[in-house]
């Protein structure tokens, strides 16, 4: 990093960090490096391990460019890349637990995170207690001498509860537990995990960082105090993303700020429009002033992404099918964070354990992409007409 880079704003860093054209014959972008073997010029160099790169699995200039950018934007010490968001989560958890330990995990966590805890960690002798995402500082009452990790995700998957991460971190740190936060929704631009007490931040870079629905990628960012444990586990588990995917992450990241600005604006416009629809019971979007998580969101976040949920008034399954099947712009499928709008039904009532999902009508999760909002409204308006007449 040059001297002036320390004072540059995030938008400038997104364009200039992780690049060194002079090193690459003037080409603007850091190239894709493919490789396993890295040659050493001399035995002395090999024995001293005295070069920047040693083996393909442990990084290339392309990997390092993205890692250094993410560490800087997230406000952490080090970032390591993994082949998916879920592998970033599993490596981060495995870095801090051993048989006999206990962890606390938000009830609103991304469901595959929960499956990792319930299946893999359980088999390794690590027990999980799920907590109400609205618990705040009262999480202290769930901490035991064996509690090593508190895993947060805010807003929560599907149901968008905003967590009081500073209060949770204070309680966790009083008992020497590590706070891991899944920061995928906000990205490093809209929530600064380390300023709010987190010790490790994970990103499903598959979502907004890649940003174009064309690659899978994860990232784990640490403070200095947590970097060694994560680096050891990351190395031991041998997880490394492919070079093309890393490049797509770098390429996506360059435009993250302008894309997110639009996702925020359009997402909020769609949320407001949906809140006024007679078919909609409730909109779960923390940037809406009436949302239960709004005050915490306004305190801790600097923006909202394009992902939120709605609960419909009670209606038939056929009605929902008629609505969704005929949509022209909203696609139906997993993942989110690309340039395109998506919609997906959800119902967490069967697997949440610390909270009770009580909606009477069906839930729909929406990702508002970069299309014109008037076209998106027209698509949903026609969908609501199909729902009513089904
Ligand atoms: C999608 C997602 C993940 C997992 O990312 P993958 O790249 O699909 O493995 C993790 N956390 C959250 C909040 C997600 O939405």
Same domain membership, residue 220 and residue 83 = yes
Cβ distance 220 to 91 under 8 Å?
yes
Query: Terminus-to-terminus CA distance in the chain, angstroms?
Result: 60
Same domain as 272, residue 238: no
CB 307 within 8 A of CB 343: no
- Please indicate, yes or no, if residue 311 is contained in any of the structural domains: yes
In a domain, 2, yes or no: no
Query: Within this chain, do residues 117 and 25 fall inside the same structural domain, yes or no?
Result: yes
Residues having CB closer than 6 A to ligand 1 are: 84-86, 110, 153, 157, 182, 184, 204, 206-207, 216, 218, 335
- CATH classification of the domain holding 288: 3.90.1150.10
End of a domain among 254, 287, 305? Answer: 254
Q: Atom 8, ligand 1: which residue's CA is nearest?
A: 85
Q: Which of 34, 57, 115, 228 is catalytic?
A: 57
Q: Are residues 286 and 198 in the same domain?
A: no
Q: Report the pLDDT value the prediction gives residue 4, as an integer from 0 to 100.
A: 75
| Closest ligand 1 atom to 205 CA | 7
Q: What angle do CA 144, 149, 154 make, to 5 degrees?
A: 120
- The verdict on residue 362 lying in a domain is yes
Cα-to-chain-centroid distance, residue 62: 21
- Do residues 119 and 232 share a domain? yes
Model confidence, pTM: 0.97
CATH of the domain at 238: 3.40.640.10
- Domain's final residue, options 213, 239, 254: 254
Q: Do 229 and 296 belong to one domain?
A: no
Q: Does some domain include residue 1? A: no
Which residues have a Cβ under 8 Å from the Cβ of 4 and sit 6 or more positions away? none
pLDDT tens track, the chain, 390 positions: 566 788 999 999 999 999 999 999 999 999 999 999 999 999 999 999 999 999 999 999 999 999 999 999 999 999 999 999 999 999 999 999 999 999 999 999 999 999 999 999 999 999 999 999 999 999 999 999 999 999 999 999 999 999 999 999 999 999 999 999 999 999 999 999 999 999 999 999 999 999 999 999 999 999 999 999 999 999 999 999 999 999 999 999 999 999 999 999 999 999 999 999 999 999 999 999 999 999 999 999 999 999 999 999 999 999 999 999 999 999 999 999 999 999 999 999 999 999 999 899 999 999 999 999 999 999 999 999 999 999
Burial class for 8, CB neighbours closer than 10 Å (0-12, 13-18, 19+): middle
How many separate domains does the chain show? 2
| 3-class secondary structure, 247 | helix
* 57 is known as an active-site residue: yes
107 and 136 fall within a common domain: yes
C-alpha closest to that of 205 among 226, 227, 182: 182
Quick one: 240 and 148 in the same domain? yes
What pLDDT, on the 0 to 100 scale, is given for residue 5?
82
Q: Is 182 a catalytic residue?
A: yes
Do 211 and 72 reside in the same domain of the chain? yes
Domain of residue 82 covers: 7-254
- ∠276-279-285 over CA atoms, to 5°? 55
The phi, psi pair for 41, rounded to 5°, reads: -75, -30
**59 and 16, same domain (yes or no):** yes
Q: Are residues 186 and 283 in the same domain?
A: no
The answer to whether the CB of 274 falls within 8 A of the CB of 282 is no
Last residue of one domain, picked from the residues 198, 227, 254: 254
């Amino acid at each position: 990093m040059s001297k002036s880079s320390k004072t540059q704003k995030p938008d400038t860093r997104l364009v200039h960090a992780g690049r060194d054209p002079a090193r690459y014959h003037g080409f603007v972008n850091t190239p894709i490096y493919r490789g396993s073997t890295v040659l050493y010029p001399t035995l002395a160099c090999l024995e001293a391990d005295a070069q920047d790169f040693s083996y393909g699995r442990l990084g290339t200039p392309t990997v390092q460019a993205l890692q250094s950018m993410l560490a800087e934007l997230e406000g952490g010490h080090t970032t390591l890349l993994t082949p998916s968001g879920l592998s970033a989560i599993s490596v981060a958890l495995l870095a801090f637990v051993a048989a006999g330990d206990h962890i606390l995990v938000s009830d609103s966590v991304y469901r595959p995170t929960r499956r990792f805890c319930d299946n893999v960690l359980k088999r390794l002798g690590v027990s999980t207690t799920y907590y109400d995402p609205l618990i705040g500082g009262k999480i202290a009452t769930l901490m035991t001498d064996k509690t090593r990790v508190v895993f947060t995700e805010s807003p929560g998957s599907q149901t968008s509860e905003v967590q009081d991460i500073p209060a949770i971190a204070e309680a966790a740190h009083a008992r020497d537990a590590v706070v891991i936060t899944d920061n995928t929704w906000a990205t490093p631009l809209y929530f600064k995990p380390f300023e709010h007490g987190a010790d490790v931040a994970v990103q499903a870079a598959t979502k907004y960082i890649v940003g174009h629905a064309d690659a899978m990628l994860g990232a784990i960012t640490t403070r200095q105090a947590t970097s060694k444990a994560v680096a050891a586990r990351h190395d031991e588990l041998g997880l490394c993303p492919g070079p093309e995917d890393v490049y797509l992450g770098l390429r996506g990241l360059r435009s993250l700020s302008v894309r997110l600005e639009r996702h925020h604006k359009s997402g909020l416009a769609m949320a407001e429009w949906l809140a006024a629809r007679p078919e909609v019971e409730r909109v779960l979007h923390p940037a809406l002033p009436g949302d239960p998580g709004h005050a915490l969101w306004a305190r801790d976040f600097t923006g909202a992404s394009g992902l939120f949920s709605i609960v419909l008034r009670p209606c038939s399954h056929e009605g929902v099918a008629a609505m969704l099947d005929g949509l022209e712009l909203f696609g139906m499928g997993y993942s989110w964070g690309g340039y395109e709008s998506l919609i997906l039904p959800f119902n967490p009532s069967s697997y949440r354990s610390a909270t009770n999902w009580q909606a009477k009508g069906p839930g729909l999760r929406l990702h508002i992409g970069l299309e014109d909002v008037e076209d998106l409204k027209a698509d949903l308006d026609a969908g609501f007409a199909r729902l009513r007449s089904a």
